A and B are shown apart, each in its own frame.
Chain A
Amino acid sequence: MAAWWGGPYTADGVSLVHKVRNRNKLMATLDLSNPGSTPLFRQMVQKSDVVLLNFRPGTLERWGLSPEVLQTWNPNLIVCLLSAFGQSGPYRDRPGDGRVAEAFAGHAYLNGNPDGPPLISQMDMGGSLAGSWSAMGIVFALYWRDVRGGRGQVIDVAAYEPMFRQIQQHVISYTEYGITEKRAGNRKSVGSPWVASETTSDGKFFTYSASTRTSERDQLHAMGLQTDPRFADVDAVEANAEEYRAAAKEWIASKSQEEVLAAFECFSAAGTPVLSGADLIKDDHILARELVVTLDDPELGSVRMQGVVPKFSATPGAVRHAGRKLGADNERVYRSIFGLTAVEYQDFQKGGIV
């Protein structure tokens, strides 16, 4: 059950993100704000394992559909409530979306150049993390219910919290070391000479990174900078960090992206071209991993999107179809799955409930 938003990218008026986000799903419509929908919703809840809702806190209560009510209908039901700031706390009533989550969780502050504004990427990081953490929470709750003899329960996901939890150095660097981390551009805030992203001679970008002595040595050798006495070994580089950064920048600027990659490959050093959607859709490795799938869609025709992640040896997933139109599966959902008679179904249709 989700409030509807198709996302900003379209082709011929068709929301593209919807095609990815709602793939493999049956699309049904139901007006929960209409009290006439309650008997039907109750029937659905009784036959389901999980209900995922992303309404503003308080909305469900207003409709008489609080988690407590849903769980009296089905004690084994897992209710996942996804909201901007969570179901409790002083900001619970504030509106929010993925970008707000990203800035509130402290990520925007860490993203950008030191002398510039906080940046926000083009993907919905906050919203998508809230989604993937909800999925994880649901699987955890199903495990507890079905394997450990638990029952249904309520999961409260505040959109900013997954990101706040994932920024692993967030709190400890401040409370233990007194550091308020700041954005540091392509050097990251780790203060290490071994990580950066630079421009190649053909105007493309190359990112390199190392965090163990072995990988640092491999990086140094890939760029051949160990012949310079200032960078004779890993310790010398640490002692001349700024000079090393400048030398690396210059070395990368003197070579094409392909040449830089070849040198890094040769020494097994960690580095990669920065890729765009246009690069990825034809990348050999992405294709070999079956990470792009092609589907036939009634609205768009042939359409490509991401494959399934991760790969399970015994239970691989599959993408069967792209997201369908709102209500495309109403008949199947209400008649075949939830067993409404033709008359009942028509009554709900006429009442504007489905």
Chain B
Amino acid sequence: MSNVANVFNASKASNVAWRKWRAEEHVDDDSKAGADQIFAGVRVIDVGHVLAGPMTSSFLADFGADVIHIEAPAPERDSSDPVINRGKRCITLNLSRPEAVSVFHRLVAVSDVLTENFRPSKMEAWGHGWDVLHEINPRLVYARMPGYGLTGPYAHRRAYGMIGEAFSGWSWINGFHDGPAMHSSFSWGDTLSSQYAAMAIAMALRWRDTTSGKGQLIDQGLVEPMFRQIEQEIIVFDQTGQAPMRAGTTHEANQYADVCITKDGEYFSYSATTKNTITALLKTLGIVDQTEGAEDFRSAARRWFSERTLSEVEEAFVAGVACGTRAMNTAELVADPHLQSRDMVIDVRDATGGRPIRMQGVVPKFSLTPGHVKASGARPGQHNEEVYGELLGMSLDEMRTLRRSGVI
């Protein structure tokens, strides 16, 4: 094992067999709780609703930000909330009530970052336009993620992640060539938007704290990161007159890529793009002459897979150092030794007092600031007293009044 691998293994409580990785023995990686946190001391207010807004602050919470997630007093919740809101403090505040305006402004005054994913005019209607918030706190970094951004002819349209997947061109390039454009079951639009926003927030914080001392507004349409991420879609149409088109399990411009069914009915994805990986693939499949064209190669490859079981295929690919993997499902991923050794599946303390909850680990892996999940997503309002009382200095009377009138 190289030195690089040791850097990471040294900071782990792992390398225990999965059998021993029982909830009662291993709650998260507490060894990481004491490490320095990238965003320690950075306070983030998250007033977003499922999924892009809360996921953004989740990525920051993994690395030590003090995230305060604001929900309406009786929120609609999602079964993924223990993951989406992990490591955050959860408070309730009904932003549509006039009494909430000053409470919200007090929170903004003591925070570094605000994220939300409402439609463009919503925050303004509640009295929280950028000009107002910027005046209250000139150092505030405000990341907005309305469906189509703050400007342009579709700015008023409502959008969710799935809409983003269709609008950005992704669905168009997903599905069979002769079938409809397709979506997957992954909330790809929302979560990519979250990732871009988390990155943008860190960029803005660094600019504020090293250069300008100033906050700024980040305007990111939920549909836009996907559009940016599909590198070929504009330039290929621009230069060839032909837009990239879906091609099922294969790739329209690379003959060495497919998902094949094995003798025992499992699916295996292979791909090769460089001279080395193509050579390794051909050798593994025992196909010598690839000059006859893509279709002949693919048929020969499909035949090869259909004559072998998944375990025979996996063995051959490992032996031949060829590029490929079975299409993993969740059950396989959770049990996989590689993911276990990478701490990619962890047990997290349940914020509501139940047994630990198993979920994804922290990504990516930093050698000195490894990140940490303090607890799963809390109940709505679980941290009201902590935040309103300790952070804002509200009296118990004041909190009681707000609670009785349904503001918090």
Question: Contact between B163 and A168 (Cβ–Cβ < 8 Å)?
Answer: no
Cα distance, A17 to B240, chains bound together (Å): 13
Question: Contact between A88 and B3 (Cβ–Cβ < 8 Å)?
Answer: no
Residues of B within 8 A of A121 (CB): 170, 173-174, 246
- Could you tell me which residues of chain A, from 171 to 191, have a CB within 8 Å of some CB in chain B? 171-177, 180-186, 188-190
Cα distance, A153 to B35, chains bound together (Å): 13
Residues of A within 8 A of B84 (CB): 168
Question: Contact between A144 and B249 (Cβ–Cβ < 8 Å)?
Answer: no
Interface size on A, residues (CB 8 A): 154
Residues of B within 8 A of A205 (CB): 166, 171, 180-181
Over the window 127-153 of chain A, the binary record of Cβ atoms lying under 8 Å from chain B Cβ atoms (1 yes, 0 no) is 011001111110111111011101101
Question: Contact between A140 and B63 (Cβ–Cβ < 8 Å)?
Answer: yes
A-side interface mostly: mixed
B-side interface mostly: mixed
Among the stretches A158-166, A224-232, A335-343, the one at the interface with B is A158-166
Question: Contact between A183 and B166 (Cβ–Cβ < 8 Å)?
Answer: no
Q: A17-B232, A108-B269, A312-B218 are in contact. Are A144 and B369 (CB under 8 A)?
A: yes
- The yes or no answer to A27 lying at the interface (CB within 8 A) is no
Q: Contact check: which of A137, A166, A197 meets B191 at CB < 8 Å?
A: A166
Question: Contact between A313 and B330 (Cβ–Cβ < 8 Å)?
Answer: no
Residues of B within 8 A of A34 (CB): none
Question: Contact between B253 and A8 (Cβ–Cβ < 8 Å)?
Answer: yes
Question: Contact between A276 and B169 (Cβ–Cβ < 8 Å)?
Answer: yes
Residues of B within 8 A of A20 (CB): 231-232, 235
Cα distance, A274 to B226, chains bound together (Å): 13
Residues of A within 8 A of B102 (CB): none
Q: A106-B330, A139-B202 are in contact. Are A272 and B159 (CB under 8 A)?
A: yes
Among the stretches A39-47, A89-97, A234-242, A346-354, the one at the interface with B is A89-97
- The yes or no answer to A21 lying at the interface (CB within 8 A) is yes
Interchain residue pairs with CB less than 8 A apart (25): A9-B236, A9-B244, A103-B269, A108-B259, A109-B327, A110-B185, A118-B267, A119-B248, A120-B259, A120-B269, A122-B245, A129-B229, A146-B206, A148-B38, A165-B361, A166-B192, A168-B84, A168-B187, A174-B334, A181-B185, A215-B160, A268-B157, A270-B160, A275-B166, A276-B169
- The yes or no answer to A248 lying at the interface (CB within 8 A) is no
Residues of A within 8 A of B240 (CB): 9, 11, 16
Q: Contact check: which of A21, A111, A142, A182 meets B174 at CB < 8 Å?
A: A111
Question: Contact between A171 and B334 (Cβ–Cβ < 8 Å)?
Answer: yes
- The yes or no answer to B214 lying at the interface (CB within 8 A) is yes
- Could you tell me which residues of chain A, from 80 to 112, have a CB within 8 Å of some CB in chain B? 81, 85-92, 94-97, 99-100, 102-112
- The yes or no answer to B390 lying at the interface (CB within 8 A) is no
Residues of A within 8 A of B365 (CB): 86-87, 155-158
User: What range describes how many residues of B lie at the interface?
Assistant: 35 or more
Q: A69 to nearest B CB, angstroms? A: 9
Residues of B within 8 A of A112 (CB): 182, 184
Among A11, A188, A207, residue most surrounded by chain B Cβ atoms (within 10 Å): A207
- Could you tell me which residues of chain B, from 107 to 159, have a CB within 8 Å of some CB in chain A? 130, 147-149, 151-154, 156-159
- The yes or no answer to B239 lying at the interface (CB within 8 A) is yes
- Could you tell me which residues of chain B, from 178 to 203, have a CB within 8 Å of some CB in chain A? 180-188, 191-192, 194-200, 202-203
Q: A81-B4, A118-B267, A314-B212 are in contact. Are A7 and B259 (CB under 8 A)?
A: no
Q: A122-B245, A271-B163 are in contact. Are A305 and B369 (CB under 8 A)?
A: no
Q: Which residue of B lies closest to A269 (CB)?
A: B158
- The yes or no answer to B219 lying at the interface (CB within 8 A) is yes
Q: A17-B232, A105-B328, A311-B149 are in contact. Are A95 and B249 (CB under 8 A)?
A: no
- The yes or no answer to B303 lying at the interface (CB within 8 A) is no
- The yes or no answer to A284 lying at the interface (CB within 8 A) is yes
Q: A88-B5, A120-B249, A150-B369 are in contact. Are A304 and B333 (CB under 8 A)?
A: no
